[in-house]
Amino acid sequence: MHTLTFLTIGQAPRPDLSEAVEAHLPATARVRHAGVLDGLTRRETERRFGATEGRATLLSRLADGSPVTLDADAVGAGLQACVDRAEDAGADVVVLLCTGAFPGLRTRRARLVEPDALVTGYVSTVLRGSRVGIVVPLPEQVTEAREKWRAVAPAPVFITASPYAEDDSALLTAARTHLDAGVDALMLDCMGYGSRHREALRAAGVTVPVLTPGVVVGAALGPLLGR
């Protein structure tokens, strides 16, 4: 029996982020949820973790559903404390619900599942030789995304659309822009993108493969846990 902690950079629980992964877990898995911003008000969140101009940013959501833009370095430090608490509580697998890169993050004994490495590795191998259109939530994330995806050839193209928008119009526009540029596949590079977004793109006539991180992580994690 495995004990998993799903760890979000926002406030837990986030079933919209974890459902695609949980679908691949064995029935015996025990699941817990934790978040870097748990228990904080928006004012406290912005004071301790708020985005800083010129620094790497991340996008998440508070418990009331409102989006919040965060400083990536501050979140990384907060994540380490959450990982430590999850291990102390008995987790043997910790699954990050974020595709950001946190190179300093460590566990003492638990297996750490980082979507950042899984999705880039998947695209690099399975879609080798394909032109991939990457969608990230915020314009200020494009520079970091280019570095993250630098090993993929041919070089991907990038555009932005928030997964937390009130409707899917920006995502549909982003997808059409990518398709007009001749991409062979779409990668929605944020755990906030899920089955609802893929279905919206399919309903709009998008026929190329549409990848979301949760599906990739779930497909990799399930066999590891005996599913």
How many percent of the chain have pLDDT more than 90? 93
Per-residue confidence (pLDDT) for residue 226, from 0 to 100:
78
Residues 99 and 148 in one domain: no
Interatomic CA distance for residues 3 and 31, integer angstroms: 6
Model confidence over 120-145: pLDDT tens digits?
999 999 999 999 999 999 999 999 99
Same domain, 76 and 124: no
- Say which amino acid occupies 10: G
Supply the pLDDT for residue 17: 94
Contact, 159 vs 174, CB < 8 A? yes
Q: What is the CATH number of the domain that holds 66?
A: 3.40.50
Confidence of residue 147 (pLDDT cuts 50, 70, 90): very high
Q: Looking at the structure, do residues 131 and 145 belong to the same domain, yes or no?
A: yes
57-61 and 67-71: which strand pairing? antiparallel
Residues shown for the chain: 227
pTM, two decimals, is 0.92
Do residues 107 and 171 share a domain? Answer: no
Contacts of 14 (CB under 8 A, 6+ apart): 6, 8, 33, 35, 61, 97
Q: Write down the pLDDT at residue 223.
A: 86
CATH number at residue 123: 3.40.50.2300
Amino acid at position 162, single letter? S
Interval 165-193 mean pLDDT: 97
For range 143-170, the mean pLDDT: 95
**CA nearest 68: which of 101, 42, 104, 89?**
42
pLDDT in tens, 19-49: 999 999 999 999 999 999 999 999 999 999 9
Q: Looking at residue 207, what is its pLDDT?
A: 97
- Whether 52 and 34 share a structural domain: yes
pLDDT of 227 over the 80 cut: no
- pLDDT for position 1: 79
pLDDT digits (tens, 9 = 90+) for 37-84: 999 999 999 999 999 988 999 999 999 999 999 999 999 999 999 999
Record the tokens describing residue 186, joined without a space: 């779409």
Give the structural domain span for 88: 3-114+215-224
Per cent of the chain over pLDDT 70 is: 100
Shared domain check, 20 and 93: yes
Q: Average pLDDT of the chain?
A: 95
182, HSE (Cβ side, Cα atoms, 13 Å): 4
